[in-house]
Structure 1
Amino acid sequence: MTGACSETKTPILSPGRGDIATGTPGARLRRAHAAGKPMVSPLAHDALSARLIERAGFQAFNIGGSSLLAANYALPDLGLAGLGEMAAAMGPVIAAAEIPALVDADDGYGDAKAVVRTVRAIEHMGAGGFLIEDQDRIVKQPEANAARSVATVEAFIAKLKAALDTRLDPDLVVIARTDALGAHGLAEAIHRGEKSLEAGADGVFVAGLKTLDEYRQVGAAFRGGWNAVAVFESPDMPALTPQAFFDLGFSQVVYPAALIQRVVRTIELTLQKMLGLARGDRQALADTLEELSPQGFRAAVDLAGWQAIEARYAEGGERQTG
């Protein structure tokens, strides 16, 4: 072609993103998982934390109910929020990073009809995959606390099949989470994981593991597939590295509370110093000046990228580059 149509134009990408990764979010998440090493996944609780996870060099991240609810609504993960509230909070988090997100779909927020609606919403937001669980929503327990009750195997498998049938992209990752350990023991939890894989789930997450023996049994049971483990930092939990978990048979290592709990503590400490400043202590914040990072903050929100777009399209400015 000739004339103006032959001119090569510089594509406008989201500021600071660089080249857009190829493939659907599900396909990109599967590639990250298939790297031959443990996929370490921090949990993003808001858009800024998702962007920082990406900038740090991680290939994927998770969005979990506890941290998302805490950051956006100051609520515990006790089944207090529905799909609408969770989707409203998740959307900006997923959009803030180009790396794929594996999100918490809870129990699907109801029956099979609700599961279908939930999966549609998650896929529409651009998530790479989701976890769906068998924990009883009425008595839901947060973090690593043992579940009080779980749905029957038959009821959970029916909801899992509804989720699998609903996804439009066959690469959208569906992980079956079971909380049966607390209510029925490890053997039942492993059994539910096996039934979930038979039903078509892409992977398994057995929640509530706390001992090395439990890690070993679950790692051996699902070695070679997508086998996720959640690590809560505690003196009561075995201190294993991601590689050690990988050697046991886990392919994904998730740190649900590592970011949000440190964020909360940092804010608490800083606010205490600000109270000192309010009371007349001029040096209350002086010892933390080195902790400030204006450059890091500007880079995280990609101030320079947005300013470049502003300048490019300023009235009377250059509108195209050859």
Structure 2
Amino acid sequence: MTERFTEGRAAFRRRLSSGEPLLVPWCPDALTARLCERLGFDGGYLGGGGLGFSLAISEALLTCTDLATAAWQIRRRSDLPLIVDGGVGFGDAIHVARTVWELENAGAHAIEFEDQVSPKRASHHRNIEHLVPVEEMIGKIKAATEARRDPDLLVIARTGAVQNENFAAAIDRLNRYAEAGADVVMVLADDDDQLAAAPARVDAPIATLTSFDLHTPDEWRQLGYHLVIDPVTGQTAAFTALRTAYEHQRAGRPSGCVPIEAFTTFHGFQELAGFEDLYDIERATTEPGT
């Protein structure tokens, strides 16, 4: 473990306990992570769903190596706290342990695991899911917490029981997951009433996965959420803009992007990506007179 990782994880854990909700958006790569840092977001979310769409293979066919590689590419160029979606852990408890080894080593600040069956099924994208028994998920949580070397690495336990059993069953699962050692539990509510009721019925820091736009930061705090992850807005906004521009260009029309503004943004990537550090090396070693 590097000191950089351990200090960052400890700080992120402290912030989670501050009483203010942490807002964490979609973060698929290092450039986006550096943008999130600049804008002051609390962290970034490397989601399995988003990565599965980007690779056009579904989350179900991702490998642990896919996730660890993506996480390391982000961490290599950014100190933004990173929450990585570990899915179902790529198998039973022993595979969960291996997942923790890989993602912790890649620099994750938190790893999320969910209680769907393994291997994960592509049809979960069309809301056909199957949950594992509670005891099986508890075994995975214990394996995850025991596998981490850094005690400040957060283990997040997510349930799909609201959609596949009922709200009461989801609350029961989350409380049992917290008792098993999960640092944070995550609920996916079906409506505003469930979203409002869940924090008071769970004895642990609680997270949800939805659009930030449902509530203001103050409202999220009043509801009692410690962590709100938005895996949808960034990816869909980016793709919508891309599709519109390409459709226009393919039809022989202007893209809607002003060329001078597009090139300004493109050249601005150099500064956001931190290329000045690279240019300094070249100036010192390859330019005339050095």
* Fold equivalence (TM over 0.5): yes
Match of 1:87 among 50, 68, 72: 68
Assess if the C-alpha contact under 8 Å between 2:71 and 2:108 holds in 1: no
Taking the aligned partners of 2:110 and 2:100, their CA distance within structure 1 comes to 9
Count, aligned residues: 285
Alignment correspondent of 2:19:
36
1:305 counterpart residue number: 277
C-alpha separation between the residues in 1 aligned to 2:171 and 2:127?
Answer: 16
Give the equivalent residue in structure 2 for 1:187.
168
> Which residue of 212, 221, 226 corresponds with 1:251?
226
Cα deviation 1:48-77 (Å, max 9, x = unaligned): 222211122113111111112222x12333
Corresponding position of 1:118: 99
Would you say 1:214 and 2:194 are equivalent positions? yes
Q: CA RMSD in A?
A: 2.5
Structure (1 or 2) with the larger CA radius of gyration: 1
Q: Which amino acid aligns with 1:228?
A: A
SS in 2 for 1:196: helix
| CA offset digits 1:243-262 (Å, max 9, x no partner) | 21221111111111111111
1:269 aligns with 2:250: no
Question: Displacement of 1:285 after TM fit?
Answer: 4.0
Give the Cα separation in 1 of the matches to 2:10 and 2:202: 22
| Counterpart amino acid of residue 159 in structure 1 | K
Give how far 1:90 is off: 2.6
- 2:68 corresponds to 1:51: no
Question: Partner amino acid for 2:99?
Answer: T
Superposed displacement of residue 310, structure 1? 2.1
**Quick one: percent identity of the two aligned structures?**
30
> Are 2:207 and 1:228 equivalent residues in the alignment?
yes
- After TM superposition, the score normalised by the length of structure 1 is 0.80
TM-score by structure 2 length? 0.89
More helix by share: 2
Which residue type is aligned with residue 212 of structure 1?
Answer: D
Paired with 2:123 and 2:11, the residues of 1 have a C-alpha distance of: 31
Render the CA deviation track for 1:176-231: whole Å, top value 9, x for unaligned.
Answer: 11111111101111111101111111110012x131110122121237x4211111
Structure 2 counterpart SS, 1:157 = helix
Q: Structure 1 counterpart of 2:242, which letter? A: I
CA contact (8 A) 2:115 2:160 kept: yes
Q: Distance in 2 between matches of 1:84 and 1:313?
A: 36
**Partner Cα distance (1:31, 1:296) in 2:** 34
| 1:289 paired residue number | 259
Alignment gaps of 5+ in structure 2? none
Q: SS at the partner of 1:120?
A: helix
Q: How far does residue 139 in structure 1 lie from its aligned partner after superposition?
A: 3.6
Of 188-197 and 62-71, deviating more is 62-71
2:289 & 2:155 partners in 1: Cα distance?
A: 48
Deviation string, structure 1 residues 20-57 (Cα, Å, up to 9, x no partner) = 97843321321332343111000112222222111221
